[in-house]
Amino acid sequence: MSDFPKIIRVESFIISIPRQTPYLGPLGPGEFINDRGYLVRRGNRSIYPSTDMTVLIKVTAEDGTVGWGETYGIIAPNAVTSIIDDVLGPVIVGRDPRDVVVIQEDLYDLMRVRGFFGGFYVDAIAGIDIAIWDLFGKLLGQPVVKLLGGQRALSLPAYVSGLPGSTLEQRVALAQDFQARGFNAFKYHSAVSFDGIVNEMRVLREGLGPAAELMVDLHWKFTAQEAIQLVEQLMPYRPYFVEAPCQPEDIEGQAHVGAHIKVPLALGEEWRTVYEYRPRMERRSMSIIQPEMGHTGLSQFMQICRMANAFHMKVIPHAGPGIGIFQAASLHATAALPNSPMHEYQHSVFDRNLQYLNTRMDCQAGAFVMPQGPGLGIEPAESIWQFLKEKSAS
Ligand code: MG
């Protein structure tokens, strides 16, 4: 097997797909799209793109087989592609795709002593890692899930994430429409006001009935004490989990909330490695982790989730905005886990971008349908290239 095909080329692509309504819903008071196409959400003071923007990575082996990866490109995608084209791509030319975990560790080592062990640098590694796993699977003719230790689930329960609508009535109607199609778990994004969050859960509970699972993303908006008080007010409406109450760096606050509320706390969409998860796990800040494949890549994702299992924590992966390749990787990984009851379904991004992919991946009747075939079981369709913004290669 010494002639196993080596990696000969790494390419990166920035894709920008226009959308009519920005991610998270229509523009609010005082919100506008700037010259670079970004908008700042007043509710959580975070910047978002007005298009679906993402970075694709293509890794080619010497026999011509191609692996596809994807990572976050929603803001400053050139930061990620520069790291791939200038640093990471050239380093992995000549490597054996069977060494995918070793390659991920090697790339992480390149910059760690300079303090680059998160952010754009690890996003870039994540995209390459996903592409090499896809390539590895294709070269062996096996689905990635089988290479991750084995497949437990054939389909994965999905929760509906985000109920975009200008009014509460529209949001409840949207949830009821999903319910009629077999979905029964829903998460809404915290409204601007304190009263709005409690009121929205009350109205959703009344509209969706006692069996529905309801969750709220608190978008890092609160101090620990504010969050504890708020969750107390949500208790009559039986939340399944509450998410991200405090600022991402507030390890003490996260632990304090986790210790003082009676609802499972879900955290982790912004953490990229075991080193970012470990201190929160040791403090038992959360009982559900939400790793984001677009930030972690497959190799780190599996390590994080196996570590969570040792802490008796569940995994309900985050579904970030992409065209669907890192989403497919997330389904492969999740299907291999013993501790994942469901996966986020970011319908406003997932549904509309499926048309730009060749895959059998889907989400219907409350569950994800796994992609099929070797590797990740997903390829960019020809139609995606109309949205190509920039291409480069190493
Ligand atoms: Mg979130």
Instruction: Assess contact for 163 and 174: CB atoms under 8 A.
Output: yes
Shared domain for 320 and 292, answered yes or no, is yes
Shared domain for 126 and 266, answered yes or no, is no
Shared domain for 163 and 134, answered yes or no, is no
**Cα 284 to ligand 1 centre (Å):** 19
Q: Is residue 343 domain-resident?
A: yes
Shared domain for 240 and 364, answered yes or no, is yes
Looking at the chain, the number of H-run helices and the number of E-run strands are 13, 18
Residues 56-84: tens digit of each pLDDT: 999 999 999 999 999 999 999 999 999 99
Cα separation, 187 vs 162, whole angstroms: 6
Q: What is the CATH number of the domain that holds 273?
A: 3.20.20.120
**Cα 232 to ligand 1 centre (Å):** 20
Q: For the chain, what is the domain count? A: 2
**Cα 23 to ligand 1 centre (Å):** 13
Shared domain for 121 and 220, answered yes or no, is no
Would you state the pLDDT for residue 45?
86
**Cα 127 to ligand 1 centre (Å):** 20
**Cα 57 to ligand 1 centre (Å):** 25
If we measure between CA atoms, which residue out of 352, 294, 388, 321 comes closest to residue 12?
388
Q: Is residue 152 domain-resident?
A: yes
Residues 238-280: tens digit of each pLDDT: 999 999 999 999 999 999 999 999 999 999 999 999 999 999 9
Range of the domain at 53: 7-142+382-389
Shared domain for 206 and 342, answered yes or no, is yes
CA dihedral 188, 191, 194, 199 (to 10 degrees): -60
Q: Is residue 2 domain-resident?
A: no
**Cα 244 to ligand 1 centre (Å):** 7
**Mean pLDDT for the chain?**
95
**Cα 95 to ligand 1 centre (Å):** 36
Q: What is the CATH number of the domain that holds 134?
A: 3.30.390.10
Q: Which residues contact 28 (CB under 8 A, 6 or more apart)?
A: 41, 42, 43, 192
Residues 338-392: tens digit of each pLDDT: 999 999 999 999 999 999 999 999 999 999 999 999 999 999 999 999 999 988 7
Q: Is residue 184 domain-resident?
A: yes
The helix/strand/coil state of 250 is coil
**Cα 161 to ligand 1 centre (Å):** 9
